[in-house]
Amino acid sequence: MTWTGHAGRMTHRPPGTARYDRTVRAVMWLDAFWSVTFILAAVVAAVVAVVWTPSGVPAVLVAATFVSAVALAACGAVTGALLMIRMNEGDFYLPPDLRLPLPAFMRPDLRAPR
């Protein structure tokens, strides 16, 4: 496959040689994990605040929500930076064999056109 790369250069990269493939796969899964953690911490914090508030528990839930939010933002920043680096090099598709943590009906077709 030949793609137009950065500044109009033509690049050719055999399948499986793209940079940062494993890193993008790992960070995308970490991003999904921290998203679920953030949502669970926020929901539990809301339920505890409405139903029952023993001393110390709100502080722990706020800390857990804050930590998961910061980790989620960091994973998003790393994913964005890696994808921008790949696109700058002319690789406009996600890594091959990437398994997105989505239900089957929501998974996009990630195969490159032939």
Q: What is the pLDDT of residue 113?
A: 61
pLDDT in tens, 13-27: 555 456 788 888 888
How many whole angstroms separate alpha carbon 26 and alpha carbon 15? 19
How many whole angstroms separate alpha carbon 114 and alpha carbon 101? 26
**Average confidence score pLDDT of the chain:** 76
Q: What are the φ and ψ backbone dihedral angles of 106, each rounded to 5 degrees?
A: -100, -5
Q: End-to-end distance of the chain based on CA atoms, in angstroms?
A: 8
pTM of the model: 0.63
Token digits of residue 77: 């920043």
Q: Where are the domains of the chain?
A: 19-93
Residue identified by tokens 């929901």 is 43
pLDDT in tens, 72-83: 899 889 988 988
Is residue 36 pLDDT above 80, yes or no?
yes
Is residue 38 pLDDT above 80, yes or no?
yes
Residue 53 Ramachandran class (φ > 0 left, ψ -120 to 50 alpha, else beta): beta
The fraction of the chain above a pLDDT of 70, given in percent, is 77
